[in-house]
Chains A and B, each alone.
Chain A
Amino acid sequence: DIQMTQSPSSLSASVGDTVTITCRASQGISNFLAWYQQKPGKVPKLLIYAASTLQSGVPSRFSGSGSGTDFTLTISSLQPEDVATYYCQKYNSAPRTFGGGTKVEIK
């Protein structure tokens, strides 16, 4: 099975900073990758699908890139409401594995 590895597992940044989260697949998955945001005590929310397509209603400061095995989620100008754990997920085949998550905090 394909493994999904996220890094870092946590980060702390200041408001206005650019934050980058990486997700690596153990085998190529083309662009079948999604990013989710889960705020504390809340249900996950889809941010990005097809590696770089922003879900409707998601602020434009979120962006995704990559293809094959290496993917990034970038938050430009971090806001206090972005405090959350972010997960990547592959969906090219089953199992639809999630990454381990990246917890983003404000410094």
Chain B
Amino acid sequence: EVQLVESGGVVVQPGGSLRLSCAASGFTFDDYTMHWVRQAPGKGLEWVSLINWGGDNTYYADSVKGRFTISRDNSKNSLYLQMNSLRTEDTALYYCAKSAYTSGWSAIDYWGQGTLVTVSS
């Protein structure tokens, strides 16, 4: 059974930093592109970032480019999101998500339960 378990969400002040983690199990982690997707309270889904299976290709939404860094450790079956220069508009539930197929160009078939990041003074 595929499981994605996020952690690291807390309340942080504007301008602060945070690192989210996602522990993956139930599939061959290093075969799949992984994503972070966020959802602000009462709002829609916003794709944040992706990283390919090997970790050498990464992409970001314009809203986080230059502030967030996605990474992975395939030896630990773990995905990370380093978040710097946080803004109030980064407040959201952050989901770790798995691509459906080993091809990079595929939909998302599994989502974690999310970890809540609140940016507030």
Residues of A with Cβ closer than 8 Å to B? 1, 32, 34, 36, 38, 43-44, 46, 49, 55, 85, 87, 89, 91-92, 94-101
**At the interface, yes or no: B11 with Cβ under 8 Å from chain A?**
no
Residues of B within 8 A of A97 (CB): 47
Do A95 and B62 touch across chains, with their CB atoms under 8 A apart? yes
Given A46-B100, A95-B60, 7 more pairs with CB closer than 8 A = A44-B108, A49-B100, A89-B107, A96-B47, A96-B50, A98-B37, A98-B46
Residues of A within 8 A of B46 (CB): 98
User: How near does chain B come to A35, taking the closest CB pair, in angstroms?
Assistant: 9
Q: List 24 A-B contacts (CB under 8 A).
A: A32-B105, A34-B108, A38-B45, A43-B111, A43-B112, A43-B114, A44-B45, A44-B95, A44-B111, A46-B100, A49-B100, A55-B109, A85-B44, A89-B45, A89-B107, A91-B105, A91-B107, A92-B105, A95-B62, A96-B50, A96-B59, A98-B37, A98-B46, A99-B44
**B:11-64 near A, CB below 8 Å:** 35, 37, 44-47, 50, 59-62
Instruction: Name the residue of chain B whose CB is nearest to the CB of A94.
Output: B59
Instruction: Name the residue of chain A whose CB is nearest to the CB of B63.
Output: A95
Residues of B within 8 A of A89 (CB): 45, 47, 107-108
Chain B positions 91 through 121: 1 when the CB is less than 8 Å from some CB of chain A, otherwise 0: 0000100001000011111011110000000
Given the interface pairs A49-B106, A55-B109, A94-B50, the reply to whether A87 lies near B35 with Cβ below 8 Å is no
Complexed CA–CA distance, A53 and B120 (Å)? 42
Complexed CA–CA distance, A45 and B22 (Å)? 19
